[in-house]
Amino acid sequence: MTVALAVPDVLVARAQAGDEAALEALFRAFETPVYNLARRMLRNAEDAEDVLQETFLEVVKSIRHYRGEGYLWGWIRRIAATKALMRIRRDHVRATEPLGEEPGKTGMHVGANIDLERAFEQLTDTSRAVVWLHDVEGYTHEEIGELMGKSVSFSKSQLARAHARLRRELGGSEGAHA
């Protein structure tokens, strides 16, 4: 999705001074992109809502220190992605599922006509996060590796495996490309 990134400097200045109306304006401007990012990365809608809330609590707390380096959406998005990845890590620890393993949905046959959204949902949390951050949000493998506390090659291999799986589930022919 494309996010309308332009936020007037004056609005940021007011938010930095603690003006509640300005903070709400920022929340309204970015709540959907933040929620969408979190929801695409996370399997659970409630988790995504929590990430939305945690992200803006952090924004409220830290916006005074935002000095305008880069654009505001980039700053907020990084906070949101970090919160979502923390949640993925926490859930992996709880489920003792190793990072990168295929999701525990064995036996679920995905037909050739399944749409992309459903196929995307079938990816592991980690793969989904990598695909979304790289392909949609435009993060580099270096940035994803840094966010995840993993290597660049980890990010690259997750992306390759995810696309191979998407290709299979969307009905591509099984061959040397998988």
Q: Pick from 22, 76, 129, 130: which binds another protein (CB under 8 A)?
A: 22
Contact criterion met (CB below 8 Å) for 82 and 75: no
Helices 45-62 and 20-41: angle between axes, nearest 10 degrees: 140
Q: Is 48 in the site for another protein (CB under 8 A)?
A: yes
**For helices 152-169 and 141-148, angle between their N-to-C axes, nearest 10 degrees:** 100
Among 68, 74, 104, 172, interactor with another protein by CB under 8 A = 172
Q: Which of 168, 177, 84, 162 is nearest to 123 (CA)?
A: 162
Residue 131 is a binding residue for another protein (CB under 8 A) = yes
Q: Please say whether the beta carbons of 108 and 64 come within 8 A.
A: no
Inter-residue contact 51 to 45 (CB < 8 Å): no
Contact 92, 100 (CB under 8 A): no
Contact stretch for another protein (CB under 8 A) within 49-57, 70-78, 92-100, 143-151: 49-57
Of 5, 86, 95, 136, the one binding another protein (CB under 8 A) is 136
Candidates 6, 7, 30, 60; binder of another protein (CB under 8 A) is 60
Distance in Å, CB of 158 to another protein, minimum: 11
What residues make contact with another protein under the rule CB under 8 A? 1, 8-11, 13-14, 16-24, 27-28, 31-33, 35-36, 39-40, 45, 48-49, 52-53, 56-57, 60-61, 116-117, 120, 131-132, 135-136, 156-157, 159-161, 163-164, 166-167, 170, 172, 175-178
